[in-house]
């Protein structure tokens, strides 16, 4: 599930619980820990308080004094608040306990997970390979990034080293809104098309961040993409679908001509 808007939602959840001492860290499944043991994670955070969390792409970055907690939710992760004594969900992997409840990292597939950086400099090293955040990038920089890449538009938009935050659904949604075929070479777009794409990205992100996820509503491609050959929500033409760079890609052959 998580793309930029979802992670932004998790950031808001965490930001409601800053400034309170972490009483305990419970690791129910160490399978989500990356490069740190349960014991060290708990030892490093117990008694600390989360400060204002930030987000870069699909990473949630949570400083807690010196150490910095880094969360990546993969395809099935989430962060949620729970009252004391609420029973575990079977995919709850880690919990940070406070006096009035706990934050839980829930993740069915454990494709990504939890890291702990010793300080901000180390945290920055973890994030060093990422491109600019999709919500922060300027129109101009966005255009430069696209024109300098050789791959297809779809691959470029979802490449975190180019632009951080867009996933499979958002990339398709943005191309659909901009009426541009995701199979086209990114470098072949002209300036007007890049601008249209940028505008579509801004709108899609603004609306989905407000909702805390990619809204599967009727006016969005996302609401139609699961049904094979479902009608395009805009023109009714049956949608096309193909795998590009290993990911299922959906587009409208009429709205998004080659």
Partner DNA sequence: CGTCACTCCTGCTCGC
Partner DNA sequence: TGCGAGCAGGAGTGAC
The residues of the shown chain that bind DNA, judged by CB under 7 A, are 1-3, 5-6, 31, 57-58, 72, 74-75, 90-91, 108-112, 129, 149-152, 155-156, 158-160, 167-169, 213-214, 216, 244-248
Least distance between DNA and beta carbon 4 (Å)? 9
Which CB atom, from 41 or from 45, has the smaller least distance to DNA?
41
User: Measured between alpha carbons, how far is 133 from 164 in angstroms, rounded to an integer?
Assistant: 5
Q: Which helix (H) or strand (E) holds 120?
A: helix 120-126
Q: Is 144 a catalytic residue?
A: no
DSSP 158: H
Strands 92-98 and 59-63: unpaired
Q: Is 58 a catalytic residue?
A: yes
Least distance between DNA and beta carbon 252 (Å)? 17
Altogether, the residues listed in the chain come to a count of 258
* CB 214, CB 173: distance < 8 Å: yes
Segments of the chain assigned E as strands? 24-27, 54-56, 59-63, 68-72, 77-82, 92-98, 101-107, 113-117, 240-244, 247-251
The catalytically annotated residue of 28, 247, 253, 254 is 247
Q: Is 3 a catalytic residue?
A: yes
Least distance between DNA and beta carbon 159 (Å)? 7
Q: Is 194 a catalytic residue?
A: no
Which CB atom, from 97 or from 152, has the smaller least distance to DNA?
152
The catalytically annotated residue of 2, 53, 63, 233 is 2
- What positions carry a catalytic annotation? 2-3, 58, 247
């Amino acid at each position: 599930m998580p793309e930029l808007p979802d992670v932004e939602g998790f950031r808001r959840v965490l930001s409601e619980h800053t400034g309170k001492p972490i009483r305990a860290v419970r690791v129910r499944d160490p399978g989500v820990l990356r490069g740190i043991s349960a014991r060290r994670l708990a030892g490093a955070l117990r008694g600390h308080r989360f400060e204002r969390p930030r987000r870069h792409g699909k990473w949630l970055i949570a400083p807690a004094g010196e150490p910095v907690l880094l969360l990546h939710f993969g395809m099935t992760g989430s962060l949620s608040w729970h009252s004391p004594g609420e029973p575990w969900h079977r995919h709850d992997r880690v919990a940070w306990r406070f006096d009035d409840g706990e934050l839980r990292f829930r993740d069915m597939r454990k494709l990504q997970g939890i890291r702990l950086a010793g300080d901000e400099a180390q945290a920055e090293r973890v994030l060093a390979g990422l491109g600019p955040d999709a919500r922060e990038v300027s129109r101009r920089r966005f255009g430069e990034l696209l024109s300098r890449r050789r791959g297809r538009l779809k691959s470029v938009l979802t490449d975190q080293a180019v632009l951080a935050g867009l996933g499979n659904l958002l990339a398709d949604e943005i191309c659909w809104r901009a009426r541009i075929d995701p199979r086209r070479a990114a470098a072949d777009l002209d300036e007007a098309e890049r601008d249209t794409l940028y505008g579509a990205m801004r709108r899609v992100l603004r609306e989905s961040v407000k909702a805390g996820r990619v809204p599967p509503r009727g006016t969005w491609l996302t609401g139609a993409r699961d049904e094979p050959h479902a009608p395009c929500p805009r023109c009714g033409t049956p949608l096309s679908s193909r795998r590009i760079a290993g990911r299922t890609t959906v587009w409208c052959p009429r709205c998004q001509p080659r």
